Structure 1
Amino acid sequence: MKYAIVGAGAMGLRYGILLQENAGVPVDFIEPIQASLDAIQAQGNKVWKSRDHEDRHLIDINIFSPEAYNGDPDVWIFFMKQMQLQDALDRLSSKFKSHQTALGAMNGMGHIEKLEKYFDQDKIIGGTAMIATVLNDYGDVDFMGKEGAGSSVYANLTQQDSETIRALEQDFQAAHLNPSITNNFMGTLLTKVFFNAVENSIATMFQSRMGELMAYDTFLEGVARPLINEAYDAAEAAGITLIESRDDMVKQVDYVSNVANPLHFPSMYQDFVKGRPTEVDYINGWIADLAEKNGLQAPNHRLVTHFVHLAEAMREFNPPVNQLLPKA
């Protein structure tokens, strides 16, 4: 199949590069962020790719602004920030065709409702990825971990199987994205949201790597467990069953922090340290809203949301130190 990646940030570049290099399928990149598009075009429509800060080299990509793109992909893959998605969809709306599928593999929640305005429900796939990637700068991406590291999960909005999702699974397997398919749409998406509500938000507040959180010896039971329990309570009240149990989620936080990606700075920190707004309202804030809509309270998630916004405000007085690049 042919893919159009909307958003040439860390994950958009990783998916697109892996698809074109490993799976050998055609990929176009559409970049709504003008500064990013300018940087990549100034490099001759090339992006820098590294792995664990090593082997930095340029890779050719096909990249366009939304207005200049006239391709006909089988699948659009959206990797925008939640607060940027609506503008990108508005600019691309005349390009969407009835036979095309939209895959939303973004952090947080809020994007599916937006995609439903442009694509039929049987043409929408939700996805999540546990694949650590850093955007050093516009047009400069660093794949964290060995080739084939990480995994991803996808589900049709209809929660029914389809030829498209199976073809996508085959391409993604060839790309080394390690995909799996479920028929639990919301449970699939929320499993990643609940993980991010712990790792991303807490690591951002304290400007720490995932593994450094474990220096507090009661992090799992004193910090992660209460946040996970509140999130699962909210989901259960809404009639949503996740694809992992509460205990499995705690174990996943433990494994990712200690084994899989201890040196990784999550994407929320990457935005925070570069002075950009974070997506905490679409993660912890969304969980708190879900709880309240279903007659519960999630005070820990509401407080974390305020704390992250407080940390954003404090950048004016205490500018964070960018720890993303390797030390000289």
Structure 2
Amino acid sequence: MNNSGIIGAGAMGYRYGVLLQENAGVDVDFIDTWQPNVEKVREQGGVTVSRNHQNRHIVPINIYYPEEYQGKPDVWIVFMKQMQLADMLKRCAPLFNDHQIVFSAMNGMGHIDKLRNYFNDDQIIGGTAMIATVLNGPADVDFMGESGAGEMHMANYTEEINDNIKAVEKDFKAANLNPIITTNFMGTLMSKVVFNAVVNTLCTMFELTMGQFIEYPGAKEMSTQLMNESYDACERAGIQMIETRQQEIESVDYVSRVSNPLHYPSMYQDFSKGRPTEVDYINGYIAKIGREHDYICRTHEFITHEVHLAEMMRKYKQAPAKQMATEENSIA
């Protein structure tokens, strides 16, 4: 691809875009609607990039609101929150054409159906990214892990290996993103969903890093229970996963214990900043697959409610301290 348009200048959008620009020599434009983010990039002349909290520096980039962008990229790379995607695609719709392809490795599931409203099936590449990145604030991103850490999988919606996916793979390799092509679309995407359904949700509810979660002696048992429900639901839906249950359980252990023990998952990052989480598109999506095939994922159903309860309880978090202060003033 000669040029790429990144839809969503968040943690992963910045990482893919900056690495493609710097390592693969791709011309990259960023499209975003978060005003503080866009204006900060323009104010400081680029995005602040660090790696593992070190070597903070400005990387010059081009960033636009959808309505002002006039470019015609070969490839769109989409990294949005699931609940924000429909509106963003509607605003970007005038920019799409039949000659472009689109790649997305968003968390959760739901985005592919939305992308199919604007792109033909043979234009869509889906993927997963086991690449930890943190957005510290507007125009400020931190790449976690050493250069070249992590990997990603990608598959055409049609499950073919054609020139389009090979071209995208070539640039992702040059960008040091470690792409792996598969011919199993749903099995590839669901492999990340079932992983996140363990780590993202449990770390978020208990406000833990991945390393702190795996330190708990019962972490493997919890992972196994959730994985078994996920795989039972997927099997009933006819989804052939690209990894076995045991491999997924071992992946949770390895990534949490070795690869990213200090990392707070993306769902926690949303939760801690008062934003809605994507639990409906992760645990909730697995539960939906189960219900549609006469199987109740009781643990996933319960955890989905638990995360929403934790979201609601944020408004009461300061209540005890305020109440205590009021009581002390009354006594005084």
* TM-score normalised by the chain length of structure 1: 0.95
1:250, CA displacement in angstroms? Answer: 0.3
Distance across 2 between alignment mates of 1:209 and 1:141: 18
Q: Could you tell me which runs of 5 or more consecutive residues in structure 1 were left unpaired when the two chains were aligned.
A: 320-328
Residue type of the alignment partner of 1:225: T
1:41, CA displacement in angstroms? Answer: 2.0
- Tell me what 2:284 maps to: 285
1:39, CA displacement in angstroms? Answer: 2.3
Distance across 1 between alignment mates of 2:166 and 2:224: 35
Q: Equivalent residue of 1:315, what SS?
A: helix
Is 1:11 the counterpart of 2:12? The answer is: yes
User: Structure 1: which 4+ aligned runs deviate by more than 6 Å?
Assistant: none
1:36, CA displacement in angstroms? Answer: 1.9
Q: Equivalent residue of 1:8, what SS?
A: coil
1:41-52 equivalences under 5 Å are 41-44=42-45, 46-52=46-52
Q: Count the aligned residue pairs.
A: 317
Between stretches 308-317 and 120-129, larger displacement belongs to 308-317
Distance across 1 between alignment mates of 2:118 and 2:281: 21
- Tell me what 1:153 maps to: 153
- Tell me what 1:325 maps to: none
Is 1:185 the counterpart of 2:182? The answer is: no
Distance across 1 between alignment mates of 2:260 and 2:7: 26
Distance across 2 between alignment mates of 1:279 and 1:232: 20
Distance across 2 between alignment mates of 1:231 and 1:34: 38
More helix by share: 2
Is 1:206 the counterpart of 2:206? The answer is: yes
Q: Equivalent residue of 1:98, what SS?
A: coil
Distance across 2 between alignment mates of 1:103 and 1:79: 9
Distance across 2 between alignment mates of 1:178 and 1:257: 19
- Tell me what 2:234 maps to: 235
1:53-64 equivalences under 5 Å are 53-64=53-64
- Tell me what 1:326 maps to: none
Distance across 1 between alignment mates of 2:298 and 2:218: 20
Q: Equivalent residue of 1:188, what SS?
A: helix
- Tell me what 2:171 maps to: 171
| 1:153-210 Cα deviation digits (max 9, x unpaired) | 0000000111010011110001000000000000000000000000000000000000
**How large is the Cα RMSD of the aligned pairs?**
0.8
Distance across 1 between alignment mates of 2:183 and 2:63: 33
Distance across 1 between alignment mates of 2:183 and 2:215: 37
* TM-score normalised by the chain length of structure 2: 0.94
Q: Equivalent residue of 2:68, what SS?
A: coil
Distance across 2 between alignment mates of 1:139 and 1:255: 31
